[in-house]
Chain A
């Protein structure tokens, strides 16, 4: 006795001609057909069952060939799928060459069979409802992004200086800037105190290119003398090596990738614009995120202005004593917001530099999924450096329960390699719940107070 279950995983195209079901025609859907069929075989007590289960069939799938739909419509229609009673469980008696089942046993098997059908249907319905809900949510999100983009483009951006501090804009800002206007908003919010023009960028870039040409490739014989003092020079070399290590999984900044040269140019131009700062590891991630949202010259302007902010300057110049004031201020708010976790960290000698350095240097772009990092950047552009530390507290608050059960090394590993899936809404709720006042003092006051102490 054998039960065979065929589960067809593809929703739009059952493509399975059993029991007279004709596979529905595909609507004009973008993604290629991906049909996965899994066939499980296993032994079962007695009923000779052949169980074929088709998960879902979509309404649009039933649309005939004379009913053309636009891709968008068809995508929309696909949302309304419903579970079909395609769970075709067939109960058969034993083959004729075997002795028949006793009536009692047959009855039992019929009952088992009915239970199986009922359960399968229930599961089907539940899955379908879940999928439907997910798609509805995604649609809602798309719609809200669409309408938000319109609001930003038509109402906010044209009246930036008057509107950017209004309550409504700030609320909208918190919810995340639509990707299509993100670059523009970042540029406006970061500003251009340095008054960098596109021309200046071209000049810096030309200078960088000149340098690349004149700096010979490192060879074993030529530079035996000044090994230790070569940090500045080797930063040009380091840029080259780091570019291919920037978001390697995206495959766009690597040699031959579409943004390789752009990233190289911006980082090179910056070392000519600020030779006193030069290239510091972590910068390539910031430049890369900007490149993904802005044109090259504008990305450079935003990059240079962003790095010019006090907190970023302190970190990228690796001004250790100044960095310590940021860590000290952070700990004040940490203790205030999460006293239990703070005590646990203290007990385990887990100091904030261990996780904050990476988070602050790369503005979370290395440690958070990119879309979530961009949302952090959104509010960072609105609220300034304070938000970077508030985000850190939000993350600690989100993972407070797991962290309190870990020892030093597990916490350190957890925080330097955050989970791949971080629930965005939940994280932002936790960030929102973090209070950024301590004994009536705001972040800036606490930070500068620790500077003088």
Chain B
């Protein structure tokens, strides 16, 4: 039986190669830190349910993209159908921070006519000793682009949940206020199967048995 959700949001995770995109997502979806992981070629997929309010669940469909610049001509096709994005840089790698601007430009020029709610993520914050980007300057940059900023660590499980949940809440508010609308032919936001009145999983299992075949 598929768990029932109110909305499905498609999120895209971008940023330079080896900033830890896959590790962050795997910490969030699988709850563990993968010591070794192979480089993402093309795109990988993850999903998880997030409960933003009691009984209100959002299904996140997470697209994990290849970071190498060469792959951008492939991954840029995936922006259009995303409602949210995590833009990662590695706090121990200054260049990955400098590239944030390029990533944003790239995304903004390929997402038209839609837009993506971005969250700036300074990753690997457990490696404080090797830090090359201060929290202040990252916050300043995020502010300039109207994004939130959060520092995370997949290894130590710091702020991973917060990063995804905060972004989900922000998008949810925009959907609720009508600023983001569900549209045919757009995969960014999909509506779930259950009326808003359902508040407990018990009611859900009673009423909402559906076949997805």
Which A residues fall within an 8 A CB radius of B?
218, 220, 223-224, 227-228, 230-231, 234, 238, 241-242, 244-249, 278, 280-282, 284-285, 318, 320, 323, 349, 353-354, 357-358, 361-362, 366, 404-409, 412-413, 416-417
Q: Mark B69-88, 1 if CB is under 8 A from A, else 0.
A: 11101100100000000000
The digit string for B30-44, where 1 denotes a CB below 8 A from any CB of A, is 000000111111111
Is the beta-carbon distance between A361 and B17 smaller than 8 angstroms? no
Contact status B95-A218, CB under 8 Å: yes
* Residues in B whose Cβ lies below 8 Å from that of A404: 213
Residues of B bordering A, CB below 8 Å: 17-18, 36-47, 61, 66, 68-71, 73-74, 77, 93-95, 98-99, 102, 132, 187, 212-213
Among A246, A357, A362, the residue within 8 A (CB) of B74 is: A357
Interface contact B38-A238, CB-CB below 8 Å: no
Bound Cα distance A358, B44 (Å): 9
Cβ B36 vs Cβ A245 within 8 A: yes
Bound: A380/B152 CA distance, A: 43
Q: Give the shortest distance, in Å, between A202 (CB) and chain B (any CB).
A: 27
Cβ of A333 to closest chain B Cβ, rounded Å: 20
Given contacts A220-B132, A416-B45, whether A248 and B102 have CB atoms under 8 Å apart is no
* Cα–Cα distance between A281 and B75 once the two chains are bound (Å): 14
Chain B residues within 8 Å of A417, by CB: 44
- Decide yes or no: A224 and B45 within 8 Å by CB, A246-B38, A281-B39, A318-B71 being known contacts: no
Please list 20 pairs of residues, one from A and one from B, whose beta carbons are closer than 8 Å in the complex, sorted by A's number: A227-B99, A238-B68, A245-B36, A245-B39, A247-B38, A248-B37, A281-B40, A281-B41, A281-B68, A282-B39, A318-B74, A323-B74, A353-B74, A361-B41, A366-B41, A404-B213, A409-B45, A409-B61, A412-B45, A413-B47
- Which residues of A are found within 8 Å of B37, using beta-carbon distances? 245, 248
Point out the residues of chain B lying under 8 angstroms from A284, CB to CB: 39
Q: Is there an interface contact between B18 and A241, defined as CB atoms closer than 8 Å? A: yes
Once the chains bind, are B70 and A318 in contact (CB under 8 Å)? yes
Among B43, B69, B212, point to the contact of A354 (Cβ < 8 A). Answer: B43
Known: A320-B74, A405-B213, A413-B47. A282 touches B98 (CB 8 A): no
> What CA separation (Å) do A249 and B77 show in the bound complex?
32
Contact of B42 among A230, A238, A246, A353 (CB under 8 A): A353
Residues of A within 8 A of B41 (CB): 281-282, 357-358, 361-362, 366
**Interface pairs A-B: 7 shortest CB-CB:** A357-B42, A248-B36, A227-B98, A231-B69, A412-B45, A220-B132, A220-B94
